[in-house]
Structures are given as structure tokens and as C-alpha cells.
Amino acid sequence: MHKKEEEADNIDKQELWERRLKWIMPFMAITFAILIWEFLVRYYEVPHYLIPAPSKISATLWTDGPSLLKAMLFTIKLTFFSLLLAIIGGVLLGMLFALSRTIEMSLFPFAVILQVTPIIAIAPLILIYVNSTFAALLICAWIVAFFPILSNTAIGLRSADHNLRDLFSLYRATPWQRLRFLMLPSALPYFMAALKIAGGLSLIGAVVAEFVAGTAGQNTGLASRILESSFRFEIPRMFAALFLVSILGVSIFLITSLLSHIVLGHWHESEIKREK
């Protein structure tokens, strides 16, 4: 009895340790990489206009903080709204596709064309046709993020178990009940997978579109800061902006993963941790 308790205790400790390890390991690896970077730059006396040391970058982050943060806020806004629009558009059109094969067959080619044409090639046109720069950037980022949500939602809505569908017919479910209680929950895992991809893509879209748009205007994002710095050979500033972009990307990844875990954790295989 006593021994058993001890065993259970040990297992608990081990699990706790494993959970901590999941955070400690990447943290240590990154810290280590940064230290090596710092050491190499100092040891070989690499000039900071070639490769700045991490200490130099963080100093720049501090001094240029206000302007960089403002840019970051702009990029966040752009990314967030384009993702939001991608979700709304993707889910609505995905529902339409799931409802009617005819609509899907006629509209799907357009979605594919939008998807396969590199955004960098369409962006200049959009910037010409759309007056507001923010709207143009939004459209660019939206195009990139939209497709995975559309296609996954359409597939997910169709993935409902056929016996469950029969059951809903047996009980004379209305189309609305069928959508609400069967198709949407069935589509949720597919949608969450798409959201993880689309989150990253909307950031890429936002950055790429801004690169094409150039640095014109006051209200600009991190991509403009990077471009600007490259013109002025302010390499540390470029790295600082780059650092913020990756922080943004990582945050989006973490948030969408967490969201997926919250929504699916209690029932879907992809989010359930199997006991060994």
C-alpha cells in the first residue's frame, strides 16, 4: 500500500518534470544559441553593420522601441483583421460549398487560382486598384490566409459520419439542426487545423504585401521598418524588427495551438494525450 503510493507519487513527479521539460528545453536551446552568437560576433570582431550581436540588437530594441512597437501594432492589426476576414469568408463559402456541389464546382477554380498565384505577383495590381493602402494590404493578406480555411471547412462539413447523418434524418432534423449539431462539430477539427496554418499565413501575407507596398506613409508595419533599415544600412534595427516579426509568428502559433486544445481537447484524438 505504502509502496504503491510512493510509486504514484513518482509518476506524478515524472509527469510534472516532463511538462516542465517541454518549456525548459526550447528555452535553454535558444539561450544557448544566443550566447554562442554573442560570443562568435565578439570573438571574430564582426562589425555590427554585417551581423550585430544580440546585445546590440536588444539595445536597438530599447532605443527604437516606440517606433518599432507602433509598427508592430500595425502589423498585428493587419494580421488579425485579415485572419478574421479569412475565417468569416472561408467558413461562409465553405458552408456554401458543402451545401451545393454545383456552387463548389463553379467557384472552386477561382479559389485555386487565387491560392496558386504568388501573392507578391498580385499585390502591385491590388495596390493600384484599391485606394486605401490598409484595405489593399488587408486584401493581400486575406487572399493568402483564406484558402486553407475554405478548403478545410468544406471537407470538414462533409466529414460527418454517415450513420449519424442517417440518425438525424430518422429524427427529422431540420437543415439548421443538422448544420448546428452535426456538421459544424464534425468540421471543427478540420477548421482548427486550418486555423493554425492560416494564422501563420496571414502574417506572411501581411509582411509580403507591405514589402510590395513600400515604405510610403506614416502608418506602416514591421515590414516597412525592415525595408527602411535596409535602405539606411541600419542592420541592428533590421534584426530588431525581424525579431519582433518572429515573436509575432510564434505568438500566433501558440495562441492557435492553445485555442485548438481548448476547443478539441476533451474529445478529439489529435489533442488527447494518451497515457502510457
Partner 1 sequence: MSKSNPIIHMGKVKKTFENGTLAVQGMTLDILKGQFISFLGPSGCGKSTVLKMIAGLLRPTSGQILINGKKPNEISSDQNIGYVFQDATLMPWATVEDNVFLPLRLKGITKYQASGDIEKALQKVGLKDFYKSYPRELSGGMKMRVSIARALIMKPKLLLMDEPFAALDEMTRFRLNDDVLSFWENADLTVIFVTHSVFESVYLSNRVIVMAPRPGRVIADISLKDSYPRSEEYRTTSAYTENCRLVSGHLKNSMVKE
Q: Is 196 in the site for partner 1 (CB under 8 A)?
A: no
Q: Which is nearer to partner 1, 5 or 275 (CB)?
A: 275
Q: Compute the least distance from the CB of residue 175 to partner 1, in Å.
A: 12
Q: Which is nearer to partner 1, 96 or 263 (CB)?
A: 263
Could you count the other beta carbons within 10 Å of the beta carbon of residue 276? 5
Residue position matching grid coordinates 492553445: 258
Q: Which is nearer to partner 1, 134 or 168 (CB)?
A: 168
Q: Is 15 in the site for partner 1 (CB under 8 A)?
A: no
Q: Compute the least distance from the CB of residue 268 to partner 1, in Å.
A: 7
Site mask for partner 1 (CB under 8 A), range 229-268, x = bound: -------------------------------------xxx
Q: Is 164 in the site for partner 1 (CB under 8 A)?
A: yes
The span of 77-85, 125-133, 158-166, 200-208 binding partner 1 (CB under 8 A) equals: 158-166
Residue 96 and residue 88 in contact, taking contact as beta carbons nearer than 8 Å: no
Whole-number Å distance between alpha carbons of 142 and 158: 24
Q: Which residues lie closer than 8 Å to 204 by C-beta, 6 or more apart?
A: 144
Distances (CA, A) of 263 to 188, 197, 270, 273: 8, 16, 11, 15
Whole-number Å distance between alpha carbons of 4 and 20: 24
Candidate list 63, 106, 117, 177; residue touching partner 1; CB under 8 A: 177
Distances (CA, A) of 200 to 76, 229, 233: 12, 24, 28
| Residues at the interface with partner 1 (CB under 8 A) | 161, 163-164, 166-173, 177, 181-182, 185, 188, 266-268, 272
